[in-house]
Amino acid sequence: MMQWETVIGLEVHVQLSTRSKIFSGASTAFGAEPNSQACAVDLGLPGVLPVLNEAAVAMAVKFGLGINAEIPEVSVFDRKNYFYPDLPKGYQTSQMYHPIVGPGEVEIALEDGSTKRIRVHHAHLEEDAGKSLHEDFHGMTGIDLNRAGTPLLEIVSEPDMRSAKEAVAYLKAIHSIVTYLGISDGNMAEGSMRCDANVSVRPKGQQEFGTRTEIKNVNSFRFVERAIVFEAERQIELIEDGGKVVQETRLYDPDRDETRSMRTKEQANDYRYFPCPDLLPVVLDQAYVDHLRSSLPELPAEKRARFQDELGLSAYDAGVLSSSRAMAEYFEAVKEVCGDAKQAANWVQGELSGALNRENLTIDQSPVTSTQLGELIVRVMDDTISGKAAKEVFAALWNGEDDSADAIIDARGLKQVTDTGAIEAMIDQVIADSPVQVAQYRDAEPEKRGKMIGYFVGQVMKASRGTANPQQVNALLRQKLDNL
Amino acid sequence: MHDKTLTELAAALAAGEFSSRELTQSLLGRIDALDGELNSFITVTAEKALADAERADQARAKGQAGPLTGLPLALKDIFCTDGVKTSCGSRMLDNFVSPYDATVVEKLKQAGTVCLGKTNMDEFAMGSSNETSFYGPVKNPWDLAAVPGGSSGGSAAAVAAGLVPAALGTDTGGSIRQPAAFCGITGLKPTYGRVSRYGIVAYASSLDQAGPMARTAEDCAWLLGAIAGHDLRDSTSVARGVPDYQEELGASLSGLKIGLPKEYFGDGLDPAVEAAVREAVRVYESLGATVREVSLPHTHHAIPAYYVIAPAEASSNLSRYDGVRFGHRCDAPKDLIDLYERSRAEGFGEEVKRRILIGTHTLSEGFFEAYYKKAQQVRRLIRQDFLDAFEDVDVLMGPASPTPAFDLGAKKDPVSMYLQDIYTIAINLAGIPGISVPAGFAGSRPIGLQILGPLFAEPQLLNVAHQYQQATDWHRRQPAFGKENA
């Protein structure tokens, strides 16, 4: 049977988190009453003119610097002409010929821990359209222009991805770069990040690309993966059955988990691009670009490397903890408080992530602050509490029982008993209460005694309600039992 | 009062000879009596005008009057005016009441002027005779059988007929200068970027520019001072200070170097027009100017280049008129495509459709390089012609139009209409300023002299026109039309 290879290129649309729109002063906030955030410019009234929002330019340039891209000195806005009810001017202002960000690259982490570089062809600025609302209007269509004019950065990759998993990894890498840079909230559910996937297949080893299809407007990591998997299978089946892939635009339907044809190449619009005469070319001087460069935060790839090299974390841990800026900042804050990167990594990925997942929260919504968690870890490390008690304290912090680990430890009396006298008293009691077990222990071969001591440790810990230091209990028990 | 210049009216208001209210009332009376015949206004805002005049008189009484306070003006119906219909001469916008003021309208309000109404124009400023207006053609007050020129024909006719002392027009390929020439008034197209385009319904964005139309260059200087300047809402407006345009008006023309582009005196130029222009040049020589012939070798490419670039931009600019949000919408559309097709088919007139089709074609895949790109290259060459010429001379002079005003209905063929703009179009492509001043008559129909200057040379240009008007009285002539309504 023929071995097939999938070839994928992504066009990712990222909504930039400017306060106002790309060409007008109207607000970009999500979720307002329909058409309450559309001014004369957004409505495309006769006579209005666009004025470029400098904040959108700065964000686009930051992205370019973040992927080590060329930043051309001059970029130009073009008009993409087509009719659509939620496109008020009858054209979208975009950048066709001279985009603001030139070629760059993004490093993605693969499942086996290795990395791969995906080339970015360019990224350009453009305005978003409004929304057509087909429900609730009884056979008519409602138009909401709140989103019209929201700045988008369209990031166009080279066809460098070879599997749906790589495509998702790339999308996640873009997501983490834009959120690290603070240029987008990356909220896919609200449409802040959407993507079009160009998919083709070819026999393994073949140089030329197959005919590609474009899957439009996929808006979650999961759907991107499923849409690509479906589409690649569809194409392979088609070719194996003697058919040919048609270059066309397809739509992914998540309910049916399939893609279907929207329009073929012949039906494609001629967008009649030409330079927008209302906007001057954007000229960026070196000082401006340098200034933005100096303001860049440490980006995910750098962080991942530093977590491995300087903090000694595993590739996996470093990858997870650098995956989002919020996660990395939380982890680093915990590490700062407790002073131990490995402990901090274990807690953030273990107890904290588990609780967040259970309640479907993001790390910014965590009820336990990084300081609280750091202080809790300190108490484990200095033997104030046992690991088991620590989990109890964490749960109490999560539930908001008190402000600090120490307060909860005190209130619940979880302080580990390290007073030898107190532990010895408990041991004596357990030994007195367990004559059968003691007899068995005494009769056992010394090499089997190690296993048997577990029972006594358990009893003592139970008696201490978990507050006794288990190592101490263990040592004292051995002493006593062996000397009976 | 109707035959006075803005400058004279300003002096009379300041001296208390009459009030702004009296002046406004008198002109509204003339409009009422005469415009039924002339058709120069689409909308007359009598009530607003009287209220504004009242306010101006009160400001004057309190000693708060500026130089333009209380002066009546009219606006081409291409300028968005808050709360007033802004039709752009089109059925498409017959129902459009703008919710905001254009920047220049705001500035004129702040200066205390009184707007009498919105003047007729070729539909979406596409035309050279005012015959493409949805509201019917405007007549030329000098000869009611003749066109007033276009596209700012309503503004030109209204000023010429003494319905208003001055008006604003826009000029994309000659739309201020040609009607000014046809109607015997003075009209200035400023340097591209000198005046904000915000709130001016766009025809061809890289060429459109608003400017004053009045009886004299001096009046134009007053108005330009009021409307010029950088506007943060228009990225193509130039961040450059506005000079005092009055200040230059006294300067002597001794030593002024005038260039006569030989391409502006070739085939197709009406002999009476040529004679009048050459006579005007002799007047300048008598004022101390020297004259030489120059060449603008790419002149003959200007019309083809313009009719690629302007329709291309127009086809895109006019896409917003789709029946969805404002403007004309067809009855009972059966689906979206039907809504688009019928709303646009019904809303736009023939000439607008023609230019949308031309523009759509020249921008389409496979033609873009051959038409649009090539036209932009030609545009650079044309601009270079002017830059080269201004190395040697201070101003260029020639006819504003190859003929005097032609008869209504005379030009049925669109190309012969396009050729009307042979002397004006290149100026828009180059972005330089140009002014047309009255320089004689062919029978009853006025002739315009066009004077061109380098970028931002409006002060010099206005003075060159002003000095001519100090030495001649063509600009003071009045048509017989409306004389009995004095």
Domain residue extents for chain B: 6-257+461-485
Residue B131: name the closest of B355, B411, B421, B400 by CA. Answer: B411
- The answer on A22 and A164 residing in a single domain is yes
Q: How far apart are the C-alpha atoms of A227 and B407, rounded to whole Å?
A: 67
A91 to B340: CB separation less than 8 angstroms, yes or no: no
In this structure, the number of other CB atoms found within 10 A of the CB of residue A343 comes to 17
Other beta carbons less than 10 A from residue A203's beta carbon: 12
Reading the block at residue A226, the tokens are 């499923």
Local confidence pLDDT in tens for the 486 residues of chain B: 889 999 999 999 999 999 999 999 999 999 999 999 999 999 999 999 999 999 999 999 999 999 999 999 999 999 999 999 999 999 999 999 999 999 999 999 999 999 999 999 999 999 999 999 999 999 999 999 999 999 999 999 999 999 999 999 999 999 999 999 999 999 999 999 999 999 999 999 999 999 999 999 999 999 999 999 999 999 999 999 999 999 999 999 999 999 999 999 988 899 999 999 999 999 999 999 999 999 999 999 999 999 999 999 999 999 999 999 999 999 999 999 999 999 999 999 999 999 999 999 999 999 999 999 999 999 999 999 999 999 999 999 999 999 999 999 999 899 888 988 999 999 999 999 999 999 999 999 999 999 999 999 999 999 999 999 999 999 999 999 988 775
Question: In Å, how far is B53's CA from the nearest CA of chain A?
Answer: 27
The distance of A136 to chain B (nearest Cα, Å) reads: 18
B420 class by beta-carbon count within 10 Å (0-12 exposed, 13-18 middle, 19+ buried): buried
Give residue for tokens 């909220």. A187
Among A225, A257, A290, where does a domain finish?
Answer: A290
How is residue B172 annotated by DSSP? S
End-of-domain residue from the set A290, A321, A356? A290
Length of chain B in terms of residues written: 486
Question: Using one digit for the tens of pLDDT, what is the confidence trace for B406-434?
Answer: 999 999 899 888 988 999 999 999 999 99
* CB < 8 Å to B86, chain A: 46-47
Place of tokens 């002397």: B423
Q: Distances from the Cα of B119 to the Cαs of A220, A232, B144, B465, in angstroms?
A: 55, 62, 17, 25
Cα A135 off chain centre by: 32
- C-alpha to C-alpha distance for A147 and A288, rounded to whole angstroms: 29
B206 contact A CB<8A: yes
- Give the C-alpha separation, B160 to B38, whole Å: 11
Mutate which of A24, A140, A278, A280 to disrupt the B interface (most B C-beta within 10 Å)?
A278
Q: Which two tokens stand for residue B138?
A: 């405007």
| Interchain contact, B198 vs A49, CB within 8 Å | yes
**CA distance between the termini of chain B:** 8
| A272 part of contact set with chain B, CB < 8 Å | yes
Q: CB distance from A45 to chain B under 8 Å? A: yes
Q: Which chain A residue has its CA at the smallest distance from B315's CA?
A: A81
DSSP A36-65: TT--HHHHT-TT------HHHHHHHHHHHH
Q: Among B151, B155, B196, B401, which one carries the catalytic annotation?
A: B151
Mind telling me how many Å the CA of B114 is from chain A's nearest CA?
22
Q: How many separate domains does chain A show? A: 3
Tokens of A194: 């959407």
In what helix (H) or strand (E) does residue A417 lie, and over which residues does it extend? none
Q: Both A469 and A395 in a single domain? A: no
DSSP H or E stretch at residue B209: strand B209-214
Residue B151 known to be catalytic: yes
Determine whether B436 is an active site residue. Answer: no
Q: Is A91 on the interface with B (CB under 8 A)?
A: yes
- Residues A102 and A75: beta-carbon distance below 8 Å: no
> Are the beta carbons of A46 and B236 separated by less than 8 Å?
no
| Record: contact B235-A272, CB cut-off 8 A | no
Cβ atoms within 10 Å of A88's Cβ, excluding its own:
27
ipTM of the complex: 0.96
Neighbours of A411 (CB within 10 A): 12
- Show the domain range for A69: 4-290
DSSP state of A126: E
Per-residue confidence in pLDDT tens, chain A, 484 aa:
689 999 999 999 999 999 999 999 999 988 889 999 999 999 999 999 999 999 999 999 999 999 999 999 999 999 999 999 999 999 999 999 999 999 999 999 888 878 899 999 999 999 999 998 887 788 788 999 999 999 999 999 999 999 999 999 999 999 999 999 999 999 988 889 999 999 999 999 999 999 999 999 898 999 999 999 999 999 999 999 999 999 999 999 988 888 999 887 767 789 999 999 999 999 999 999 999 999 999 999 899 999 999 999 998 899 889 988 889 999 999 999 999 999 999 999 999 999 999 999 999 999 999 999 999 999 999 888 888 889 999 999 999 999 999 999 988 888 877 777 888 888 888 888 888 888 888 888 878 887 888 888 888 888 887 788 888 888 888 888 888 7
User: Is B48 one of the catalytic residues?
Assistant: no
Interface with chain B: mutation pick from A21, A22, A49, A76, highest number of B CBs within 10 Å: A49
Co-location of A132 and A43 in the same domain = yes
Please give the Cα distance from B261 to B284 (Å, whole number).
16
Is residue A17 helix, strand or coil?
coil
> Is B319 in Cβ contact with A83 (below 8 Å)?
yes
Q: Which amino acid is at B91?
A: R
Q: How far is CA A88 from the centre of its chain?
A: 34
What single string gives the DSSP state of each residue in A418-457?
Answer: --HHHHHHHHHHHHHH-HHHHHHHHHS-HHHHHHHHHHHH
pLDDT in tens, B301-323: 999 999 999 999 999 999 999 99
Residue with tokens 């609730």: A136
Cβ atoms A200, A235 nearer than 8 A: yes
Contact assessment for residue A416 and residue A471, using Cβ atoms and an 8 Å cutoff: no
Q: Are residues A149 and A228 in the same domain?
A: yes
**Positive or negative torsion for Cα A307, A311, A316, A322:** negative
> Which chain B residues are within 8 Å of A43, Cβ to Cβ?
325-326
Q: Select the residue of A47, A49, A90 nearest B319 (Cβ to Cβ).
A: A90
Per CB-CB distance under 8 Å, the chain A contacts of B364 are 270, 272
A269 and A322 inside one domain: no
Which residue type, as a one-letter code, is found at position A84?
Y
To which H or E segment does residue B304 belong? helix B302-317
Sequence-ordered list of residues with C-beta below 8 angstroms from that of B106, at least 6 positions apart, any chain? none
Choose among A396, A395, A372, A393: nearest CA to A384.
Answer: A393
- Domain at B6-257+461-485, CATH from 3.30.1490.100, 3.90.1300.10, 3.40.50.920, 1.10.3720.10: 3.90.1300.10
Instruction: Determine the Cα angle at B61 with ends B58 and B62, to 5°.
Output: 90
| Matching residue, tokens 């970015």 | A120
Q: Which helix (H) or strand (E) holds A253?
A: strand A248-253
| Token pair belonging to A454 | 């577990």
The structure tokens listed for A217 are 């407007």
Q: Is B324 on the interface with A (CB under 8 A)?
A: yes
Q: Do B322 and A83 count as a contact with CB atoms less than 8 A apart?
A: yes
B98 and A47 within 8 Å at the Cβ level: the answer is yes
My answer on whether omega of the bond before A20 falls inside 30° of 0, hence cis, is: no
> Which value, to the nearest 10 degrees, does the dihedral of the CA atoms of residues A161, A166, A171, A176 take?
-120
Q: Which residues contact B77 (CB under 8 A, 6 or more apart)?
A: B42, B43, B85, B86, B87, B88, B89, B118, B119, B120, B121, B154
Return the amino acid letter for A263. Answer: R
Residues in chain A: 484
Which residue out of A96, A274, A276 would a mutagenesis test of the B interface target, given it has the greatest number of B Cβ atoms within 10 Å?
A274
Looking up residue A439, the CATH number of its domain turns out to be 1.10.10.410
Residues 6+ apart with CB under 8 A from A245: A200, A201, A210, A211, A212, A213, A235, A238, A239
Residue from A253, A249, A244, A238 nearest A214 by CA: A249
Cβ distance B66 to B14 under 8 Å? no
Radius of gyration (C-alpha) of chain A in whole angstroms: 30
Q: Does B348 touch chain A (CB under 8 A)?
A: no
Q: Which of A412, A447, A468 is the last residue of a domain?
A: A412
C-alpha B310/C-alpha A427 separation (Å) is 98
A350 plus A436 within the same structural domain: no
Based on the fold, state whether residues A211 and A325 are members of the same structural domain: no
- Between CA A468 and CA A34 the distance in angstroms is 62
